[in-house]
Amino acid sequence: MTLVQVKNVTKQYANGEETITPLNEVNLEVHQGDFLSLMGASGSGKSTLLNMIAGIDEVTSGEILVEGTDITKLSRGKLADWRASHVGYIFQTHNLIPVLTAYENVEMPLLLLKMSAAERRKRVEIALEAVNLTDRATHYPRQMSGGQEQRVGIARAIVASPTLVVADEPTGNLDDETTEQILELLQRVNNELGMTLLMVTHDIEASEIAKRQIRLERGKLTERQSESTNREITAA
Amino acid sequence: MFQFLPYLLKGFWGHRARAMLTVSGTAVALFVFCFVSAVQDGLLRLTQDKQAQRTLVVFQENRFCPTSSRLPQDYTKHIAELPSVTGVIPIKVVTNNCRASLDAIVFQGMPAEKLRSSRELNLTAGSWSAFEGADDGALVGQAVANRRNLSVGKKFTINEVTVLVTGVFQSPTTAEENLIYTHLDFLQRARGQNSVGTVTQMEVHLSDDADVDHVAATIDAHYRGGPVATTTRTKGMFQADTLADLAELIGFIHYLGYACVGLVLALVATTTVMSVQDRIKEHGVLQTIGLRPNRIFRLIVSESTLLSTAGGLLGIGAGLVFLSFTGLAVAAEGVTISFRPSMDLAITGAIVSVVVGVLAGIIPGIQAARTKIVTALRQAG
Ligand SMILES: Nc1ncnc2c1ncn2[C@@H]1O[C@H](COP(=O)(O)OP(=O)(O)OP(=O)(O)O)[C@@H](O)[C@H]1O
Ligand SMILES: [Mg+2]
């Protein structure tokens, strides 16, 4: 089933006289249960694409349909509501709220959804268990290691069972061993929880755990078909 | 709406030094505001009191200080016979200080039975019979009693007048609580007074349908050529005239009240702007999670409102406690203005702090809500 449809999306920045076009008429389809990795040179527009799909950045032109809704047409308020129930965002630096405990950070997205306190509690516990941090629930971000913080960040992204989880270089700030743990965790999120994942990364090894590998070059997307061939993705 | 309250409170705790400084600054400003308003209320009450508009005070013409006004006591008889006059009370006033003072003592001597019928005194200690039974007996207003630490049974001397405290009273007219009532003849005979047969002023009570100005004019006209000419005004006018200089000063103090409000606004707004700038990225994260821009705005306004309300309540509380314990009053020429705490004062103060808090949050709130998420997320921190 097609979950996300990126249709002829262009992103331009006017920089004085000059215009930069990181994304030029880009097309992409993401299916339910996919795990996509998005690679590309620095400054190629990976974060921009990811952010537009996550509904936190605006397209210059084109459409992004998620489960049939064109999110580029939603008002800021409606879009926020849509994100609350449909998107989990994993940042490069965890971006936890420093004054809240791990538990409270994970609970935050649920405060926006209609559910009982008991249901909320249960969901937070499940999410913390999934990232194996039940024993750190009452710790503050400053009391945790970088890897632990990132796991809390992942728990926060999945706690509301979003339609789509996006991650922008989730292992960019971590050492090799921690990177491995996080990647394993992301794979479990995809395999065991069945969530659709879109991950931007610079790391080839990281990209290989994904089911589909996409590259962004000079404003266009290509998908790796086999060991050595890439095919440009064009409008369906 | 309240599900984000823990987040707000923990935010204050995380920056407790900043929050505490803001709260205490607000508290000090509201304390001063409270004080200024109490002074103004006191003056207003004195001059706008309903009763004060329907009672006349006869004073010697061109005299201001009670020590220099001497009216023959037998004027009472003639005045009492005028149409619409229901009663005349001869009053001897003695004060230790004719100029503006925060600790003026004002004695008013009048016949005991008139005192009892014309003033609504509520004795909190002592009794009327004790007062009536003692030549040098005195009923002391609650505010003076607090200030001078007077209680029933104590003797008390000021300006060579020595009285025995036979009662302490409260009055619905708060300015009264700064007076000491004695027997008229006692005060006339008191050492250094030697004024038997004369009084300082006369208080004239009128029937409800009386033409107040007409009666006043009649009295003054009658004595114009007499041994002592008079000036007759309503009690409210008399008090306003007597306190004219002070009133001007107090009118000016008004601006101090506005300055306090401005100060709180600047203080809370500064804190809020700082706290918002510290957390641009955090607000970006919250929006990414799904908080509407509108909600971010409300969070910031709630934050500034909570701070200023907390400080405001603290300052008002302290102000009311201070006012009620010190029984502070300013007196000039025998008339006193009392600074009393009141429910109105508390409510005004609370409204001021809430409104100022909301105003202080609006601009930083709009800023935070308008910042693009991707821009916010790019911020350091
Ligand atoms: N607000 C902006 N104004 C102008 N240009 C911008 C703005 N934001 C991004 N860009 C430009 O858009 C291009 C794509 O940026 P983006 O952050 O998406 O790249 P990226 O592929 O994620 O890079 P990296 O791997 O370094 O994170 C860059 O050339 C960047 O300079
Ligand atoms: Mg990037």
What value, to the nearest 5°, has the Cα angle with vertex B169 and ends B343 and B173?
A: 45
CA distance A185 to A193: 11
Whether A168 maps to a domain, the answer reads yes
**Interchain proximity A91–B289, CB inside 8 Å:** no
Judged against a pLDDT cut of 90, whether residue B158 lies above it is answered with no
Whether A146 maps to a domain, the answer reads yes
> Is the pLDDT higher at A185 or at B97?
A185
CA distance A135 to B328: 60
Judged against a pLDDT cut of 70, whether residue B381 lies above it is answered with no
Q: What is the pLDDT of residue B248?
A: 81
Segment 24-63 of chain A within 8 Å of chain B by CB:
51, 54, 56-57
Nearest-atom number in ligand 1 for the CA of A50 is 18
Q: What is the pLDDT of residue A151?
A: 94
Say which amino acid occupies A37. Answer: S
Pairing state between β B106-109 and B179-182: parallel
User: If pLDDT is split at 50, 70 and 90, which confidence band does A235 have?
Assistant: low
Q: Distance (Å) from the C-alpha of residue B310 to the closest C-alpha of chain A?
A: 21
Whether A7 maps to a domain, the answer reads no
User: If pLDDT is split at 50, 70 and 90, which confidence band does A236 have?
Assistant: low
Q: Report, as an integer, the average pLDDT of A45-64.
A: 95
Please provide residue B243's backbone torsions phi and psi, each rounded to the nearest 5 degrees.
Answer: -100, 15
Q: pLDDT, tens digit, for every residue of A33-42?
A: 999 999 999 9
**Interchain proximity B292–A76, CB inside 8 Å:** yes
Whether A5 maps to a domain, the answer reads no
Please name which ligand lies nearest the alpha carbon of A38. Answer: 1
Of the candidate ranges B15-19, B31-35, B333-337, the one whose mean pLDDT is the lowest: B333-337
Query: Taking the CB of residue B244, how many other CB atoms lie within 10 A of it?
Result: 12
Q: Report, as an integer, the average pLDDT of B324-330.
A: 77
Q: pLDDT, tens digit, for every residue of A195-206?
A: 999 999 998 888
Whether A68 maps to a domain, the answer reads no
Q: pLDDT, tens digit, for every residue of A133-148?
A: 999 999 999 999 999 9
ipTM: 0.94
Residue A111 burial by Cβ neighbours in a 10 Å radius (0-12, 13-18, 19+): middle
Whether A21 maps to a domain, the answer reads no
A103 touches chain B (CB under 8 A): no
What percentage of residues in chain B have a pLDDT greater than 90? 48
Cβ-Cβ contacts under 8 Å, B280 against chain A: none
Q: Report, as an integer, the average pLDDT of A77-100.
A: 94
Whether A61 maps to a domain, the answer reads no
CA atoms lying within 13 Å on the CB side of residue A48: 23
**Interchain proximity B290–A81, CB inside 8 Å:** yes
Average pLDDT, chain B: 88
CA distance B163 to A87: 84
**Interchain proximity B285–A95, CB inside 8 Å:** yes
Location of structure tokens 């919250």: B286
CA distance B292 to B283: 10
Distance, CA of B262 to chain centre = 22
Q: How many domains does chain A have?
A: 1
CATH code of residue A160? 3.40.50.300
Interface test with B, best of A51, A52, A60, A112 (most B CBs within 10 A): A112
Q: pLDDT, tens digit, for every residue of B239-249?
A: 888 887 777 88
Query: Taking the CB of residue B358, how many other CB atoms lie within 10 A of it?
Result: 17
* Nearest CB to A80; choose among B3, B6, B290: B290
- Cβ atoms of residues A5 and A29 within 8 Å: yes
* Nearest CB to A80; choose among B7, B292, B374: B292
Domain residues for the domain of A186 are 34-56+75-232
- Cβ atoms of residues B52 and B118 within 8 Å: no
Whether A190 maps to a domain, the answer reads yes
Judged against a pLDDT cut of 80, whether residue A233 lies above it is answered with no
pTM for this structure? 0.82
CA distance B91 to B199: 6
Judged against a pLDDT cut of 80, whether residue B353 lies above it is answered with yes
Q: Is the CB of A201 under 6 A from ligand 1?
A: no
Location of structure tokens 């005239």: B241
What percentage of residues in chain B have a pLDDT greater than 70? 99
Judged against a pLDDT cut of 90, whether residue B95 lies above it is answered with no
Interface test with A, best of B2, B288, B303, B370 (most A CBs within 10 A): B288
Of the candidate ranges A145-159, B90-104, B275-289, the one whose mean pLDDT is the lowest: B90-104
3-state DSSP helix/strand/coil percent for chain A, to nearest 5? Answer: 35, 30, 35
Residue B221 burial by Cβ neighbours in a 10 Å radius (0-12, 13-18, 19+): exposed
